[in-house]
Amino acid sequence: MRHLWETPGGVHPPDNKAQSQTMSIGQVPLPKTLILPLNSAFDEVAKASVRIGDRVLKGQKIADIQGKLSVAVHASSSGFVTSIEPRTIAHPSGLSTPCIEITTDGEDRWIESKTYPHYQHIDPPKLCDIIAQAGIAGMGGAGFPSAVKLAIDGEKSVDTLIINATECEPYITADDMLIRERAAEIIKGIDVINCALSKPKAVLIGIENNKPDAIKALQEHCKGTQIEVVPVPTKYPSGGEKQLIYILTGKELPSEALPINIGMICLNIATVFAIKRAVIDGQPLISRITTITGQACDINRNYEVLIGTSVEHLLKLNGFNRERCSRLIVGGPMMGFTLSSTNVPVTKTSTCILAVSHQEMPDSSPPQPCIRCGLCAEVCPASLLPQQLYWYAKAADHERLQAHHLFDCIECGACSYVCPSKIPLVQHYRGSKGDILTARAEKTMASKARERFESRAVRLEKIDSQRETKRESRKLTSNNAEQQRVSGKPPLTTSAEDIIKAAQLRVQTKKISPEKQKAKLERTLIAAQIRLEEAQQRLADVLESGTVDQQTQHKATLEGAKQKVDKTQQRLAKIKLQ
Amino acid sequence: MNYKQISSPQIHKRQSTDRIMQLVLIATLPGALILSYQFGWGVLLNLFISTLTCIVTEALVLKLRHRPINIHLGDYSAVVTAVLLGLALPPLVPWWVVVTAAIFSILIAKQLYGGLGSNPFNPAMVGYVVVLISFPVEMTTWVTPISLLPQGVSHPGLWDSGMIVFAGSVPIDGITGATPLDLFKHSKGLMVEQIYNSNRLFDNASIAGVGWEWANVAFLIGGLALLKARIFTWHGPVGMLGSLTLMSMLFWDAGSSSSPGSPLMHLFSGASMLGAFFIITDPVSSATSNRGRLIYGALIGLLIYIIRAWGSYPDAVAFAVLLGNFAAPFIDNYTLPRTYGHSQRRRATAKETDKNV
Ligand code: SF4
Ligand code: SF4
């Protein structure tokens, strides 16, 4: 037995998993239309490569990666592209994003695709590219592009690959069922990833011990491999990336760092399965296992759902009753978000559609004052003090919020879950995080603007003083001439005159050496371009791995560098013209 | 057709603030029963007057503040304050003492600071201290426990008790007397042995004086039940009882004439257990983190001992708690837990710019 570490806090909400596990994974009748969102979970939009009216085949790529965090999109069935326009999708923001609508033709005909059964002989970068082109993004909910995670640059190395099969949220059983039915394929997927990572030293599958069947299935297929199946105690949120890393290895991910910084990579088990399908079978990510559950549905079951199928279609299939339904949740009850309408498509990250009845989740009573009972602090897996965070969030005390490590809150909701006063703590934290980030971005922008303003002021002042000098010197020269004329004596050399002369000389040198000026500008330009490249590199790094505020900061730096290059180029062009 | 939008998490544990307060109330029952048995109707009259006053005051203030009365009265927090106050006040004390204390608790100590959750001081203890300072004579007269009443004398019945409390009639001789803590305070020069032998208070009780020790045991039991129900953590009570024990062991001095009493006697007399499990565990006015609560409890235990042993009041829980309340924000500042992913604890007042902390 492997030694396991215990995380602080955690809660044990009723798991409600049994009801959706009475049947095997079901198939969904082909819907008439499929809506395929082009944006990734990180709001980068893929570029549509088809046009309205085009005929597409199942598995055909219909949108390309553009920008590091976008994800390729494939037609999940054959048919015609009938519209490309913004639609509302299953996303916490509830906003609409560009989507491709496909009207299916019922043939469900696959496109010819390339399979890689001998993936062992493919270079890691090539493997990553295959995975990227298959449109694979983290399927546990975050939706981070997997290829970006797997493409490790030279200096970093991975010694532990962690496969997250904890599925600690109540109600959701998609991973559990996937493992039970398709463990062999999952293990192959792990092997593909091993090749992409050039064989990490350890491969651990973390799975909560409330899934004995899945554990058995995995263990059977892992015999004779280096993969270790590690059952972990059932406690929400053991499936949080940081928590799972600690439970399995006893290491803490430093604040704001990524697993790769401590030599680890975490992947969701459904993602592993998708990678197997993509590489070995040549099937891009066009479907996922989604749990449809909750008492407002007569049938609670897992389905293999085509990405883009509308929630409406799925609910109908399961005898959904609108009257009974108190709210509609995508994801689990702890971290999931509510939908305002059923007319949204399933995305790559939709683990579960939870249609709960009024008895199951009655409307909550209004929050009462915080009595500082500390129950929230007891369950916080990050060892924060939620009650203090709440207090400072209400007071909008950004300094104290950060001193209390607001940004280490993983928004797991354990604190709100236990709060006897029913305070929506997480909502307050999200709001405060947003406020702080906006304030920071504004600050960076303001300081940039101030810099620009100040340098302009200095420039103007310089020009003014030069003019002044010229005027003065002209006046003096004429005065002197006058004097000379009158007295017939050469003028007295005053110190003021010296200064004027020196100034004039400077102006002259400037005037007479456009070459020098050009050379200088060219040097500046090169330096600026280097800085720009560096800034781009850094931004790419943080986009991949950094926190949101780092990203904002680097974006601002990049903007500054761009402006500098532009300006230098303009000035250079002017000089060349002269 | 739109569905309801609710931010995560979607589910909540059944525990509610009302329920916590109810449990606390239930847990005071054993203590309240033993106290009434030992000291008569006065205890129940105290509870009655104090509860009534607290509820009426709370309702009036809520009305003035335009707050929904039902919701806030329904959280039972005023009742908890009332009961703790009623239990702490001496039985058969005149009604206006109780009323004054109750009004002070709710009006000044709680609502003026913003109501439940915003009060820096424990309301019941504020009320108690105010009347203790204002009416020292009434507040230091205790009823004699039942087993020590002189032959043929018994505690006044409900009617007579009412007359004493409301009409100011004078209780008959022999039903009031000193408390064990008083005895220790005023028996300077006697060995602990001698005190034990010379006073009937200790006749049938080996440790802390008849009456009091049983009441303390009852509060201990109620407190342990709350601990088991995870209404609070062990940190506060253990801190307080631990430091009280430690101090009384250090200064026990083998029961010499200058000894302020044995550890057991300190643990089981006065308001020790009531304080440890029902008063310092009031979350609102205590320190925040578990470590903080341990220190907070220990500080209060220390203060209780210092005041009992060398101060001018025989019992000291109320003063010690208020001083502890004062110190709580300071304790909080230095006891932030270490957050996941950070190598060091931080101070609450640290600035974001102090990156090295
Ligand atoms: S659980 Fe709720 S009431 Fe208790 S301290 Fe935390 S926020 Fe306050
Ligand atoms: S939501 Fe944040 S503060 Fe609340 S328990 Fe989770 S990590 Fe802690």
Q: Is the pLDDT of residue B337 over 80?
A: yes
Q: Does residue A332 have its Cβ closer than 6 Å to ligand 2? A: no
Q: Is the pLDDT of residue B152 over 70?
A: no
CB contact under 8 A, A408 and B339: yes
Contact between residue A259 and residue A244 where contact means Cβ atoms under 8 Å apart: no
A397 part of contact set with chain B, CB < 8 Å: no
Residues of chain A below pLDDT 70: 1, 41-42, 154-155, 476-514, 544-546, 576-578
Does A403 share its domain with A301? no
Distance CA A138, CA A118 (A): 24
Distance CA B112, CA A348 (A): 53
User: What confidence category does residue B356 fall into, taking pLDDT thresholds of 50, 70 and 90?
Assistant: very low
Instruction: Tell me which residue in A368, A381, A414 faces B17 most closely, judged by beta carbons.
Output: A368
Residue of B nearest to A374 (CA): B288
Q: Does residue A413 have its Cβ closer than 6 Å to ligand 2? A: yes
* Tokens 């009441």 belong to residue: B215
User: Bridge-partner residues for A290, per DSSP?
Assistant: A303
Could you tell me if residue A164 is inside a domain? yes
* Tokens 């509870």 belong to residue: B47
Ligand 2 atom nearest to CA at A237: 6
Each domain of chain B, given as residue ranges in start order, spans 16-177, 183-332
User: What confidence category does residue B199 fall into, taking pLDDT thresholds of 50, 70 and 90?
Assistant: low
Of A460, A390, A381, which Cα lies nearest the Cα of A422? A390
Could you tell me if residue A318 is inside a domain? no
- Among A465-474, B104-113, B292-301, the range scoring the smallest mean pLDDT is A465-474
Could you tell me if residue A457 is inside a domain? no
Give the residue with greater pLDDT, A544 vs B99.
B99
Could you tell me if residue A458 is inside a domain? no
Peptide bond before B9: cis, by omega within 30 degrees of 0?
A: yes
Contacts for B175 with CB less than 8 Å, ≥ 6 apart? B40, B143, B144, B149, B153, B155, B156
Mutate which of A390, A412, A425, A429 for ligand 2 pocket (most atoms within 8 A of beta carbon): A412
Mutate which of A238, A408, A409 for ligand 2 pocket (most atoms within 8 A of beta carbon): A409
Does A73 share its domain with A218? yes
Does A381 share its domain with A297? no
Averaged pLDDT for residues B313-342: 86
User: What confidence category does residue B312 fall into, taking pLDDT thresholds of 50, 70 and 90?
Assistant: confident
For residue A234, what pLDDT is reported? Answer: 92
Query: Six-digit token pair at A259?
Result: 């697993």
Q: Which domain holds residue A173?
A: 18-306
For residue B357, what pLDDT is reported? Answer: 37
Domain holding A24: CATH number?
Answer: 3.40.50.11540
CB contact under 8 A, A408 and B4: no
Contact between residue A172 and residue A291 where contact means Cβ atoms under 8 Å apart: yes
Residue of A nearest to B71 (CA): A368
Q: How many CB pairs under 8 A join A and B?
A: 179
CB contact under 8 A, B9 and A246: no
Number of domains into which chain A is organized = 3
Does A384 share its domain with A521? no
A242 Cα: distance to centroid of ligand 2 (angstroms) = 13
Does A389 share its domain with A292? no
CB contact under 8 A, B117 and A378: no
For residue A1, what pLDDT is reported? Answer: 66
pLDDT more than 90, % of chain B:
29
Q: Is the pLDDT of residue B268 over 70?
A: yes
Q: What angle do CA A48, A49, A50 make, to 5 degrees?
A: 95
Instruction: Tell me which residue in B230, B231, B340 faces A242 most closely, judged by beta carbons.
Output: B340
Instruction: Show which of A280, A306, A332 is a domain's final residue.
Output: A306
Residues lining ligand 1, Cβ inside 6 A: A 370-376, 386-387, 390, 418-421, 423, 425
Does A289 share its domain with A399? no
Identify which ligand lies nearest to the alpha carbon of A368: 1
Q: Does residue A414 have its Cβ closer than 6 Å to ligand 2? A: yes
Does A97 share its domain with A244? yes
User: What confidence category does residue B157 fall into, taking pLDDT thresholds of 50, 70 and 90?
Assistant: confident
For residue A509, what pLDDT is reported? Answer: 55
Ligand 2 atom nearest to CA at A389: 3
Q: Is the pLDDT of residue B205 over 50?
A: no
Query: Six-digit token pair at B155?
Result: 């505690």
The alpha-carbon gap from A501 to the nearest alpha carbon of chain B, in Å, equals 49
> What are the strands, taking DSSP E only, across A209-341?
227-232, 264-268, 287-293, 301-306, 325-330, 337-338
User: What confidence category does residue B126 fall into, taking pLDDT thresholds of 50, 70 and 90?
Assistant: very high
Q: Does residue A412 have its Cβ closer than 6 Å to ligand 2? A: yes
Query: Six-digit token pair at A242?
Result: 């940081």
Instruction: Tell me which residue in A246, A252, A373 faces B283 most closely, judged by beta carbons.
Output: A373
Instruction: Show which of A306, A321, A343 is a domain's final residue.
Output: A306
Angular region, A71: left φ>0, alpha ψ -120 to 50, beta rest? beta
Q: Is the pLDDT of residue B203 over 60?
A: no
Instruction: Tell me which residue in A246, A338, A383 faces B339 most closely, judged by beta carbons.
Output: A383
Does A301 share its domain with A398? no
Which residue's CA is the nearest one to ligand 2's atom 4?
A: A415
Distance CA B89, CA A385 (A): 35
Residue of A nearest to B355 (CA): A403
Which of A17, A253, A394, A421 would you mutate first to test chain B, the one with the most B CBs within 10 A?
A: A421
Rounded to 10 deg, the angle between the A495-512 and A425-487 helix axes is 110
Distance CA A438, CA A398 (A): 12
* Tokens 């054993």 belong to residue: B30
A378 part of contact set with chain B, CB < 8 Å: yes
Give the residue with greater pLDDT, B205 vs A52.
A52
pTM, two decimal places: 0.76
Ligand 1 atom nearest to CA at A422: 2
User: What confidence category does residue B342 fall into, taking pLDDT thresholds of 50, 70 and 90?
Assistant: confident
Does A22 share its domain with A115? yes
Strand ordering across the sheet containing A55-56:
A33-37, A96-104, A79-88, A55-56
In the stretch 74-133 of chain B, residues with CB closer than 8 A to chain A read 75, 77, 115-118
State the ipTM, two decimals.
0.78
Could you tell me if residue A488 is inside a domain? no
Does A400 share its domain with A300? no
Distance CA B274, CA B84 (A): 8
H helices present in chain B, as ranges: 17-39, 41-64, 69-73, 77-88, 95-103, 123-134, 136-139, 158-162, 180-186, 192-198, 212-228, 235-250, 263-267, 272-274, 290-310, 317-334
Could you tell me if residue A119 is inside a domain? yes
A10 Cα: distance to centroid of ligand 2 (angstroms) = 10
Identify which ligand lies nearest to the alpha carbon of A386: 2
Q: Is the pLDDT of residue B284 over 90?
A: no
Instruction: Show which of A254, A275, A306 is a domain's final residue.
Output: A306
Does A291 share its domain with A388? no
Task: Using alpha carbons, list the distances in angstroms from residue A209 to A81, A165, A266, A394, B143.
Answer: 45, 10, 19, 39, 59
Instruction: Tell me which residue in B3, B9, B349 faces A426 most closely, judged by beta carbons.
Output: B9
Q: Does residue A393 have its Cβ closer than 6 Å to ligand 2? A: no
Contacts for A265 with CB less than 8 Å, ≥ 6 apart? A149, A150, A158, A160, A161, A162, A197, A200, A259
User: What confidence category does residue B251 fall into, taking pLDDT thresholds of 50, 70 and 90?
Assistant: confident
Of B347, B341, B183, B190, which Cα lies nearest the Cα of B265? B183
Averaged pLDDT for residues B197-212: 57
pLDDT more than 70, % of chain B:
80
Ligand 1 atom nearest to CA at A421: 3
Dihedral through CA B270, CA B271, CA B276, CA B279, nearest 10? -160
User: Bridge-partner residues for A355, per DSSP?
Assistant: A328
Between strands A26-27 and A202-208, the pairing is unpaired
Distance CA A394, CA A429 (A): 10
Mutate which of A364, A368, A379, A387 for ligand 1 pocket (most atoms within 8 A of beta carbon): A387
CB contact under 8 A, B7 and A426: yes
Query: Rounded to a whole number, what is the largest CA-CA distance in chain B?
Result: 84
Q: What angle do CA B296, B302, B305 make, to 5 degrees?
A: 140
Count Cβ neighbours within 10 Å for each residue of A261-294 and write b for 16 or more, e otherwise.
eebbbbbbbbbbbbbbbbbbebbbbbbbbbbbbb
A371 Cα: distance to centroid of ligand 1 (angstroms) = 6
Strand ordering across the sheet containing A264-268:
A227-232, A202-208, A160-164, A264-268
A242 Cα: distance to centroid of ligand 1 (angstroms) = 24
Distance CA B262, CA B268 (A): 10
CB contact under 8 A, A334 and B3: no
A266 Cα: distance to centroid of ligand 1 (angstroms) = 32
Residue of A nearest to B281 (CA): A373
Could you tell me if residue A37 is inside a domain? yes
Query: Six-digit token pair at A379?
Result: 């369950």
Residues in chain A with CB shorter than 8 Å from the CB of B352 are 398-399, 402-403
Dihedral through CA A16, CA A17, CA A23, CA A28, nearest 10? 90
Does A380 share its domain with A286? no
The alpha-carbon gap from B29 to the nearest alpha carbon of chain A, in Å, equals 22
CB contact under 8 A, A426 and B20: no
Phi, psi dihedrals of residue B158, rounded to the nearest 5°: -60, -45
Ligand 2 atom nearest to CA at A376: 5
A524: DSSP letter: H
Distance CA B75, CA A421 (A): 10
- Among A172-181, B190-199, B341-350, the range scoring the smallest mean pLDDT is B190-199
Averaged pLDDT for residues B43-50: 91
For residue A68, what pLDDT is reported? Answer: 79
A426 Cα: distance to centroid of ligand 2 (angstroms) = 7
CB contact under 8 A, B11 and A402: no
Give the residue with greater pLDDT, B166 vs B330.
B330
Rounded to 10 deg, the angle between the B317-334 and B123-134 helix axes is 140
Which residue's CA is the nearest one to ligand 2's atom 8?
A: A380
